[in-house]
Every structure is written in C-alpha cells, then in structure tokens.
Structure 1
Amino acid sequence: MFFDDEDERFMNPEILHVVHRELYAITSNLEISPYYGLRNVPTHTEDGIPIRKLYVSNLPPKTTRAELFNVFAQYGFIKSCWLRMGDKGPNKTPTPTYAFVTFGNPADAHKALQAPNHEKMLRGRNLRISPADSWHQPAEDADGRVRWKPRGQRHDGEIPLPASNGIDPQDGPSATSSSENDEVNVPEENFVKVEGGSSETEDPYNILDILNRDCMTHILSFIPIKDLIRSERVSKSWQNMIQEYLQSIRTFKTSWWVHEQSRLTTAVLRRVLQRLGSSLLRLHIDHQLSALNDRTAHTIGKFCPNLEELKVVGMYTKNWNPLLYGCKQLKNLAFVSCNKLTDSSLVHLVKNDSCIEVLTVANNTHVTGLFLTGSNTTKLHSLSFYNCYSLQGTVLCAAIDTIPNLTTLKLDVCPVAMWKIIPMILNKVPNLEELSLSEYTSHDGLSAQNSDAFCESLGQLKELKVLNLSRNIHINNAVLKKISQTCTKLESLNISSCNSIRNFSSPGVGDEGVRAVCGGCCMLQTLDLSYLGALTDAGLRAAARLPRLRRLVARGSDALSSAPLAHVLRACHQLEEVDACGCDNVCSNVVEAAVEALEARPRALRLRLGGTAAACDCSEDEPQENQKHKLLTVNIEEDLSNPNLRPDFVDQMFDYSSEDSLDDLYDHDLYDHDLYEDFDDFLGPADELLLDHDDDDELNGLYAYGIHAADIILL
C-alpha cells in the first residue's frame, strides 16, 4: 500500500500495524457460534515460523507473573512469562501494559489461542490473546533445535532503540526493545548503554511463579522462623512472600524459634512479635532456656492485639496485668510451672470486665485461690488447678459463688484437705459439664461420712458429660452407682487406677460398679477401666451394653482375657479403638473378632495389643502376617501400659529383713572357697565385727551422726 506525502502525517504504516494487531486480538477472543464451527487459527507466522510466543493485552491492574502463569499453565509447558510494566517512580504506581507468554511446544500455544474466552479471564477481565510477530518468535534451526536466546549481535549491557517513528513503546510489541529474538539488523549507533548492565529481557520463571501460595506455605512451615527472617535479603519478591507468610501464621511457640542451647530474651521475643504478632491467635511461651523479664507482658499486649490463647511455661515473671490493656480478645490463659505466680498476679485478669474464659494454673506453690474472691466475672466458664499445694478449699468454695457460669472444674493433685471441701463446692455448681478429680492417693483423716457427702453432691450434677476420677483412692462401687443414677448424659468416664492394689483396705472399683455405669450411662463414648484389681471378665463384658461406645481402654490387668473384648467388638458397632496393652491373657482371638465385626459393620478400627499374648504369638524370626482387613490397624509393638500401676505389681526395693541380710555374704555355695577366704580375711574374725557396747561414748557419737551398728556391718 502506498501513501502520498500529504497523507503520511495522518496514516503511519507502523500505527496501522499496531491497530491491526489489536483488532486481531479482539476478534480472536469473540465467541463463535456453534453453527459455523471453530475459527481457523494459524499455527505459523507469515514467515513460516511456528507460533510459540503469544501477545497478551487488556491486563487488569496489579497483575503478577504468577497469576498470568496460572492462566496459561493449563495448556502446556511455559518456557517464559514476561510482563511489561509501566513507568516506575517514587510517586507512580507501575501498572502492567502487556505481556509475552512463550510455550515450549507450538501445539500448546495453538491450544491457548483456540481456548474459549471464559477460560482466559483474570480478575474479571477477558485477556486479549494473539500471536506475537515473527521477530518475537523463537526460530528453529534446520535440525529442529529452537534458538531461545536473542539472535542479534548485542553488546553486554546494551539494548537497541526503536526506530524514530513517533510510536510509544507501550503501544504494542512491535515498538518494544525487550524482545529476546530480534531478527532486525540494528546498527551499532542505535545501541544505548544501560546503567548496571541490566537489560529488559525475558527472565525465565522461577519456583515462586510455579507453586501457588498453599504449596509455598506448606513448604515454609518446615523452616524455622529464624531462618526465614534472615533470608528476606535474597530478593524483593522473596521478601514479599516471606512477609505474607509471616502474616498468615496463627500459632507460634517460642520453642520453634531456636533449636540450639541459647537463651530467649525479651528483646528477641519483641522483634519476633513485631513481624508476626498482629496475626497471632495462639502463643505458647515454652522455651527451655528463657530469660524473659517483666516487660514480656507489655510486649505481648502491644504486638498481639488479636491473641485468643496464651500459654506460659516455666517463667518467673510476676506481673501479667498488662495483657488486659492490649489483648482485648484473650480467652484462654494457662500458667505452667510459673513459680513466682501469686494471687496478686491474677487478680486483675479475672475482674468484672475481663474477657478470660478458660484459666489454668499448674505446678504452683503460691496460688491459694484468693484472687477469685470478689471477681464477679460472667465470662469465666473453665477453671483448672493441677498440683497446686497451696490451694485452699475454703477460699475456693467461697469464690465459686462469684463464678455463676462455671461449666468446667478440674482439681487434680490437690492437698488432702481439699477432698473434705469438694462436696460443698459441687453443691454450688449444678451446671457442671466437665469434672476432673484425679490423683487423690491419701486416705488420712477421712471417714465414711466424706464418701457419703461426695455421693450426695454427685446427685446434683445432671448435666455432666466428662468425668475423670483416675487414681482416686476415694472412688468405689457406691460412687459409680450414684453416677449411673444421676449422670445420664455422661459421654466420657475415666476410672483407671482406682484402688488398683488388691490388698488395700478400701474395696475400690469392681465388677458391680462397672456394670452399674454401663447400664445407667447409655451415652458413654469413651470408657477407661485400666489397672483395676477387682475387675474381671464379667465386669468388662458389661461394656457391650453401650451402643455409642467408640473407645475402650483396659490396660495392665492380668485377670482379663480375650472373651469379653471379643464380645464388645461384636456388640458395639461404633467402636473405633480398643486398648488392651499389658493384659497378659489377651490373645489373637481379639483380632479375629475384630475382622468379623468389620465385615458386619465397616468402619476404621484400631487395636492396641502391646505386651499381651497376641504380641507373643507373632514370632520374632518369622515375618509379621499381612493385614487381615483394610480397615483394621493392629499395633502389637508399642506397649502403653505402666507396670508400676498394675494390680500385681510388687515393689521389692525395700522388701528385706535384717536377719537374713548377711546370710548371702557367707554362702559357700555362691562363692568360691579361695575368694571366700580372702573376703573373710578382709572382714576379719566374726567377733571383731561386733561393737564394744561398753564404750558408751563412742556409740553415742555414732548415733549422733545418724550411723547405726547395722549400717557399719553392711559397709
């Protein structure tokens, strides 16, 4: 086409070329009627070069290479994805203008051109797709190899300038100078030096463009946060991704910070919380070697405004009141092994307008419960004390009146005097849903009246769902009968090690109490009957009357066999786990009964049979048999039972008599005669072993140091 000189100022051939490209991009994305079939999309350029590179326009603002990669990755392998950004500056926001997407296979590029319009949308915009010009397409050699790099003879750090035709480089790919395959011979005077030697060429995509955010988040979760913060200097894109990952962390434990034997200081914790504190919901300060001071509470309150759960382990900080001023949403608060924690440290945390709902204090010797007096908090519904020797029952009983919405109460490993006050406490909380009274192993100073008062207090807990009475010496069959009559909504019951010693004066729990619970509490889902000395097969067989039973635990009992467990497996169709570790008489018949139960009612079932006869049936020399059912998991290697809690356990450490203590020293059958003579010479004659009782001063001096005559003889 020829143009006169007068018309040249109105119609430039380069402008016409750009307009033609944009029109082709628009028409190539129009929906074609199904009656006319698919349009004819070319596979080669006019010069016969296979189309691998596509020109993409109509990009939405803030488009990234990763988003562009995800749109076209469905059609095939992408060799490179280059995005042209607009002008950059301190007061300008760079916006994408157009992009080049290069496929490794021309067939994949052809698929992308033929794909329907709705598949090539990004943030609500239809991307305009068209083949790039011939000089942008990678060329093939005669042997079929593709030349991906630029073919022009360019100097290092130089890029060619476009022709002076008045065209803005952002108007189209024909005017850009960032092409990696430029076939136009550009004179050397048209090259311009670029500061720093960088050129605007297509960079191959990296792992940040391929993996999505979910994959990268999962990978980064295995890297310590300390290393992630140090690696932010790698690049700007990596720094942005690390900051985005840190802002997505919801749970952080200080034990994750460093794995070396180094101390965690408040200054270090402050810098960490500056990065990820604004998004944290759960924070556990459980570092082994911590040197945190009283400013720790101020740091947490300042940088963790959205915190909902805080657990502090082994700290010596007294003042925790600043948490209320910063953490307005704090609900769960736990202090474990905090020796300097006192009532004054907690008095403001449970005041009237406090947001604390769950409070736990464990392994403490200063807290008496006085901080609860006069609190009048309406949000506190869970209160737990574990191994708090200074806890006073009378103070706690008076403070319970100020907690009207209490539904969870845990008083574990408390002083002996606490058991006398527990009935009065339970009478004030009839709406309890969870109760834990475990590890009461002393019977001193308590009479039968206390047991009767405890049974009467249990009669008011009609809403109870979870009950833990493990290792409680005051629990017997009468208590279980009262539970079966009152706690009909009970879902979990733990009565393990309740008087497991058979020769103890208190009767403890036996078959009668277990049968009563299984008959009255029909909604039980978890039942723990471990280490009960008076439990036999008849009592365990009663567990088959629980239709909703999901987990049954009966560890460390030499009186139980496989028959009741097999009966329970066949009767309870929702059973998911059976733990019989340490039961010597349980054999492989339990596995066969489990297979039959799964054939009738399929579900996932786990059997723990470590330390039983079933584990002995599997010889160590022979390989273990294949799994008998796909839904059955049998663990015979791990024994979870505690031998010290077994009913037949006998402590022989101090079981000896002084009369027979020296018999073995002169047993001629155990020692050689020559060795015995040498040993006799070392000890001296038998009459010299006896002390001279006439010397009272010498004997009294030995007694003053706590040394007795028998001890000297043994030495």
Structure 2
Amino acid sequence: MYYEDEERLLNPDLFHVFRRELYAINSDLEVTLGLKYVPTHTEDGIPIRKLYVSNLPPKTTRSELFGVFAQYGFIKSCWLRMGDKGPNRPPTPTYAFVTFSNPADAHKALQAPIHEKTLRGRNLKISPADSWHQPTEDADGRGRWKPRGQRRADGNTSSSETGVPEQEVNNIDRVSENGDEAMATTSTTEVPSNVQLQDEEKCTTDNESCYTILDVLNRDCLTHIMAYIPIRDLIRSERVSKTWQNMVREYLQGIRIFKTSWWQHVTVMLTTAVLRRILQRVGDSLTRLHIDHHWSALNDRTAHIVGKFCPNLEELKIVGMHTRNWNPLIYGCKELKNLSFVSCNKLTDSSLVQLVKSESCIESLTVANNTHVTGLFLTGSNPQKLNSLAFYNCYSLQGTVLSAAIDTLPQLTTLKLDVCPYTMWKIIPLILNKLPRLEELSLSEYISVEMCFSPQCNDAFCDALATLTELKILNLSRNIYITNAVMKRVAQSCPKLESLNISSCNSRRSLPHPEGGSIARTSTGVGDEGVAAVCRGCRALCALDVSYLGALSDAGLRAAARLPRLARLTARGNPALSAASLACCLAACPLLEEVDVCGCDAVSEEVVCAAVRALAERPRALTLRLAGTSAQPNELARDEYPSHKLLTVDLLDDRSNPHLRPDFVDHMFDDSSDDSFGDIYDHDDFDEFFGQDDDLFLGDDLDDFEGLYQFGLNAPDIILL
C-alpha cells in the first residue's frame, strides 16, 4: 500500500501524510492523557543539560531555584538574568538557566509534573535551551566545563593536552539583543557522569537529513560572503547555531584591518561604546586600525579603548578627531609602529611627547593638516626606533625647533616636509646636513616666495644635497625653488636615486628682488638641461615624473632613454612634447611598463605604433595612458590602430589637471569681465535703494557721513565702492 510496485521504495507523499496523522494522534494524547514527548537531545544531536526557565516571580533568588530543581539531580550552575533597574525600583529577574551535570537529570526535570515546578504560586515554564547554550561533551559522554578563571577566554580552545579532539567550548550566555553578555556560574572541578544514555532515548530525528546553507557551501565561500556582512550583524547572528557561531568566531579572529568608515548602519551611530564592543571581539587580531569616522561620534575615551583591546596593533591612523590625549596608546599597544594624525585640530606637542619617548616602539609618525604642533615634542625625546617623520600642511611647525630635534633622531631615514611655512626653506639645508643616511625626502608644494628666496638659499640647499648619497626617493613637486642647478647637484650626489618627482617645478615669471625695490626676472625652473643631467647621473631611476614643466621639450625627454631600469614614465600636461621622444624611450627602455602622457596635446597616434614595435622586440606588459591627446581616434579609425596582446591603451581616463599646465591662463579677471557688473546698475530699483543723486551724501563736503547710516552703510564701504 505504501510502496510503489516498480521501484519498491517508500512513497514520499504517502509518508508525509502518515506522519501528519501520527502527529495529530500524538497531540490528542497529550491533551487527553497528559502524555508529552520530551527529547533528550537537541536538533544538532547535543545532549540536553541546560534548561531555560521563565515566568519567574519577582525577587527570585538562585537559592530558591536550587530548591526547586535540586530534587531531580546535581545542578552544575544556576544563572539569573536580571532586568534593568529603574531609579526607584530594584532589578527584577526575567528568566534563568539551570544546568544539570547529568543529561538524565535534566530529562527528569522536563518530565516532572507541573505542580512540582512552582515557585511562590507561579508555574515555572521549563524548556530545553537551544544548541547554542548547551555545553559540549567528550567522547566518553562527560560534560566539558570551562574553569572559572578561563570563562572570558576565547571559545576556540584546543584540548590536545587532555587528549580530547579540538572543539568549541561555550558557556557564555548571550541573552540580549544589544549584545549584553553574562557568564554562567561554573565550578572549577569536573563531576564525572557515569550514567549511560540508552539507545531508545536518542532522538529519532537524527536519521533525517536536514541540509542548510552551511552544509552546501565550504568555508572559503562562507568566509568570502562574511566579508560583505557588517561586523555588527555577524556578532548579533552568532546565536543561530553552533556551526555558525564557530565560523563567525573564526572569521572575526582572522580580521587584520578595520576602518571605522566601514560602519554602514544608519540607525546606529558609531559611538565610543559601540566601538568598544567591536574591538572587544576583533581587537586581539587587528594589526591596522583607521579611525576615520565622523569626529562627533567618538569621545576622549577612544584612546583608552584602543590601547586596552588592541595589543597587537601595528598601524593606527586617526582622521578628524578632536581628542587631545593619545598617551594611553603606549601602555597597551606595545607593537605600534606606524602612527598618523590627519586633521586632528586639538593635537598639540603635549599629545605626542609620551608617544615618542626613548623606549617607544613607533617607527613612523605622520602629522597632517594641523595648526598647533611646533615640533617641540621631539626635543629631548631621543626615540631609538623612529625612522620616518612626516609633516604636511603644519603651519605652526618651527624650523629651528625641528633642526634642534633632529640631533636626537639618529635612525631617521625618511623625512617629509610638505606644504610647510615659507620660512622652513631657510632651515632645510641645516636639517639635511644632519641626516646623511636619509633614503626618502619629500619637499613638495613650496609655492610662496615672500622674502626668503635668494641665490644663497639655493646654494645652501645644493650643498646639503651633496651629503645625501644614500637617497633613493625624492619628491620635489610644485616647488618653485627647484631649478636646473638643483637637478645637476642631484645627478652628482645621488647615484642610488630610484624615484624622482619634479612635476610643476616652474619658477614664477617675476619675483621681488631680495634687496627690495625692483622686480627681477628669474629662471623658469626645471627644463631640458636639468632633466638630461638627472638621466645621465642617476642610472638607477625606476620612476620619473616630469609633468607640467614649461621648459621641457622632446630634447630633454629623449634623455630618459638612457635609463635602463625605467619602469614608469609620467609626463602629463606638457604642450611641447610629441610622439617622437616617447618612441625613443619605448624602444630603449626594456623594463618600461607604464607611460602616462595625459593632456599632452601634441602627442599623436604614432606612440601606439612605437609601442607595438617595442613589444615585438622585448615582450612585457605595457600600459599607455593617452587621454586628452591627439592620439584619440574617431569611431571609424579606431579599428585601424595596431594592437598587441600585452598592450593596453587608455583613451578615456584623463588624469591631467589643466590648472597645473604651464600655459594655463585664468580668464576670470581678464578684460571681458569689466562689464560683468553692468547689469546691476541697469535695474530700475537701484535708484530706489540708494535714493536720487541729489539726496546722496556725495557732494562737495565729504566729511559729513550722517546720510550713510540711514541706509545701514559705513563710510569705508562706500569709498571702496
């Protein structure tokens, strides 16, 4: 009846009908006879030891619960969940967990009549706790209890010392939607369980196969999926099952980088308390932390939290925070190496003096967009491991103080002084003379001349460059003090130079004479002569940036063909360059992988043909960026261009800045704008606002300004008008 004649297998449809009828009969028996099936295992096959108790009367104590359930067996722990207390009332219990040492005792408590499980006239509601809360057991059936001293340790523990296979030990009761945690009270001694479970007590549903998404996908796929889920949602979803909890914990322990800007919850603001809960879970494994969230969401306790929960942190970047005291970092983050402060307005020298003391482990320090730091925190600190120091847009930085502090930095190999006060240029030669081991130097965006520009300043700077024989990276972009003479000294003194950036090194057309009075014409910055000198002297160059140079032509760029190790050439916004000089570089440089000439109007499509020929002789991956040039073909001629499998031609992404071009002309204040205010005076209501000409104060006597104030205007404003 229940089998098909052909296949002789159980018919699934008939089986479900039969099962539904049995379930209905079972339900009727429970109602009429009081019989109820009580499982001994959870759905995951874990023996039931922990019971969930609800409907508790007010002022319930642990002793009272012990008195109710002690008649069924030995109680391992009893934990009460207390609700939030108000201003005039004590906290009340909401529910409880009772854990038996023996699963058979928990089964007796579940099967006991209702009248035996009453407290103060209330019938306690008893049900098995879910799989997430149930304690695990060994292979011999003994429960695994975590000692009291290790209750707050991580659940992923190895039991190799006891010979037990590695499993997850979970006695933590996560009971609140907001992430509140309470620890079950356990004993430090193990109580063996000699009671053997009988075969008939095992759950009959174990034979049924129930597949979920955790069984279908492997761990690599699930880990990749977890990368797209916010950390807050992962933490809140741990209670789903034991398997999911283990995977979430394993994933959280593998997180190495966390940025607060990743916080995507609109309804929940990232406060210091929320950040504390996140770092409690992932802080032990973090090596890089970027606090770049909105500054108003975090308070002064952020530094204490980072120092407490991130002991293995190696890189910390703080953006836009108004916290002044960051000294707690040195007490907890013993492995901190890279520290950056960007747009921290309240950061002062006193905030950094403890971070760079002699026993500090910090190797790199960056301060950007600050108006309070003067460099005084480095004086007398003598940090032994600090080898990189960077200041960007720090207007209060004092060159004399920094020069005195350099004496206490013997290991300094990287120095960046970008967008600093114009007076710093006088002190830079003194600083460089004290750093013969410097490997990276950045002096970019010096565009204010004032009164410090003189031939003596550049001569001193050139003499200081003669001591930098170990220099490998040099950034002098947008520096009006850099000329061909400086480039010649770099070529003579820096044979190990690997990267050079001299973009926008164009001196102003007219500068005030240092002796005052007259206007003197100066050189035009870096041109063909300086670029050629660098290419002859620095044969180890791998990256060269000569963008926006007004005096650079094809003759100077052809010198780059002498660089055998050149891999990246950037020459944006140079109107005098053509495809001929680029073709020479492509043919002579066997390691050239990227050529960026965006915004060079005279560069034609011949550079593509030269690249194909170069790849035919010396194959390698090559990228040409030709957006904003004459090499952009129309739709008809696009297919006629030669192509190569290793060649990538970018004609859409224009990375050039037209405002930095040497031939850029600002038309905002040209002659055509003289009549821009003419429409204002053509309105009819203009006279009504100021009154007629006869009523105005503009007469022979200009000392009487009483008529001004009746219109709400001041005398200086009218005079300027």
Say if 1:691 and 1:498 are closer, same or farther in 2 by CA, change over 3 A: farther
Say if 1:262 and 1:93 are closer, same or farther in 2 by CA, change over 3 A: closer
Matching residue's letter, 2:440: E
Does 2:371 match 1:365?
Answer: yes
State the match for 1:95 in structure 2. Answer: 139
| Equivalent residue runs for 1:415-434 within 5 Å | 415-434=421-440
Q: CA deviation at 1:697?
A: 4.0
Q: CA offsets per residue over residues 24-61 of structure 1, 9 Å max, x none? A: xxxxxxxxxxxxxxxxxxxxxxxx999xxxxxxxxxxx
Match for 2:654 among 639, 649, 654? 639
Does 2:624 match 1:618?
Answer: no
Matching residue's letter, 1:371: F
How many angstroms apart in 1 are the aligned matches of 2:305 and 2:241?
30
State the match for 2:389 in structure 1. Answer: 383
SS of structure 2 residue aligned to 1:359 = strand
State the match for 2:506 in structure 1. Answer: 499
SS of structure 2 residue aligned to 1:240 = helix
Match for 1:318 among 298, 321, 324? 324
| Equivalent residue runs for 1:341-360 within 5 Å | 341-360=347-366
Q: Which runs of 5+ in 2 are unaligned?
A: 1-6, 10-42, 50-100, 102-134, 142-159, 161-195, 512-520
Q: CA deviation at 1:238?
A: 1.1
Q: CA deviation at 1:535?
A: 0.5
State the match for 1:437 in structure 2. Answer: 443
Q: CA deviation at 1:429?
A: 0.4
Match for 2:717 among 700, 703, 707? 707
Q: CA offsets per residue over residues 294-346 of structure 1, 9 Å max, x none? A: 21111111111111110000001111111111111010100000000000000
Q: CA offsets per residue over residues 481-518 of structure 1, 9 Å max, x none? A: 00000000000000000017667743200100000000
| Equivalent residue runs for 1:173-252 within 5 Å | 199-252=205-258
Q: Percent identity?
A: 64
SS of structure 2 residue aligned to 1:278 = coil
How many angstroms apart in 1 are the aligned matches of 2:461 and 2:249?
56
State the match for 2:473 in structure 1. Answer: 466
Matching residue's letter, 1:296: T
Does 2:463 match 1:456?
Answer: yes
How many angstroms apart in 2 are the aligned matches of 1:332 and 1:403?
16
Match for 2:299 among 293, 296, 299? 293
Q: Contact 2:260–2:293 (CA<8 Å) still a contact in 1?
A: yes
Bigger shift: residues 463-472 or 217-226: 217-226
Q: CA deviation at 1:226?
A: 2.1
Q: Contact 2:582–2:607 (CA<8 Å) still a contact in 1?
A: yes
Say if 1:642 and 1:96 are closer, same or farther in 2 by CA, change over 3 A: farther
Q: Contact 1:501–1:648 (CA<8 Å) still a contact in 2?
A: no
Matching residue's letter, 1:599: A
Q: Which runs of 5+ in 1 are unaligned?
A: 1-47, 51-82, 98-122, 124-167, 171-175, 178-191, 667-675
Say if 1:699 and 1:522 are closer, same or farther in 2 by CA, change over 3 A: farther
Q: CA deviation at 1:442?
A: 1.1
Q: Contact 2:295–2:322 (CA<8 Å) still a contact in 1?
A: no
Say if 1:600 and 1:335 are closer, same or farther in 2 by CA, change over 3 A: same
How many angstroms apart in 1 are the aligned matches of 2:48 and 2:678?
94
Does 2:606 match 1:589?
Answer: yes
Say if 1:200 and 1:380 are closer, same or farther in 2 by CA, change over 3 A: same
Q: Contact 1:500–1:533 (CA<8 Å) still a contact in 2?
A: no
Larger radius of gyration: 1
Matching residue's letter, 2:502: I
Does 2:272 match 1:266?
Answer: yes
Q: Contact 1:85–1:95 (CA<8 Å) still a contact in 2?
A: no
Q: CA offsets per residue over residues 99-128 of structure 1, 9 Å max, x none? A: xxxxxxxxxxxxxxxxxxxxxxxx9xxxxx
Say if 1:210 and 1:705 are closer, same or farther in 2 by CA, change over 3 A: farther
State the match for 1:560 in structure 2. Answer: 577
SS of structure 2 residue aligned to 1:317 = coil
How many angstroms apart in 1 are the aligned matches of 2:665 and 2:354?
49
How many angstroms apart in 2 are the aligned matches of 1:480 and 1:200?
80
Q: Contact 2:528–2:555 (CA<8 Å) still a contact in 1?
A: yes
Bigger shift: residues 455-464 or 287-296: 287-296
Q: Contact 1:84–1:96 (CA<8 Å) still a contact in 2?
A: no
SS of structure 2 residue aligned to 1:613 = coil
Q: Contact 2:503–2:549 (CA<8 Å) still a contact in 1?
A: yes
* CA RMSD, 1 decimal: 3.5
| Equivalent residue runs for 1:93-132 within 5 Å | 93-95=137-139
Q: CA deviation at 1:661?
A: 3.6
Q: Contact 1:489–1:521 (CA<8 Å) still a contact in 2?
A: yes
State the match for 1:530 in structure 2. Answer: 547
Matching residue's letter, 2:358: N
SS of structure 1 residue aligned to 2:369 = strand
State the match for 2:485 in structure 1. Answer: 478
Does 2:667 match 1:652?
Answer: yes
Matching residue's letter, 2:572: R
How many angstroms apart in 2 are the aligned matches of 1:308 and 1:223?
25
State the match for 2:620 in structure 1. Answer: 603
State the match for 2:310 in structure 1. Answer: 304
Say if 1:445 and 1:230 are closer, same or farther in 2 by CA, change over 3 A: same
Does 2:494 match 1:487?
Answer: yes
Q: CA deviation at 1:536?
A: 0.6
Q: CA deviation at 1:443?
A: 1.4
How many angstroms apart in 2 are the aligned matches of 1:656 and 1:217?
64
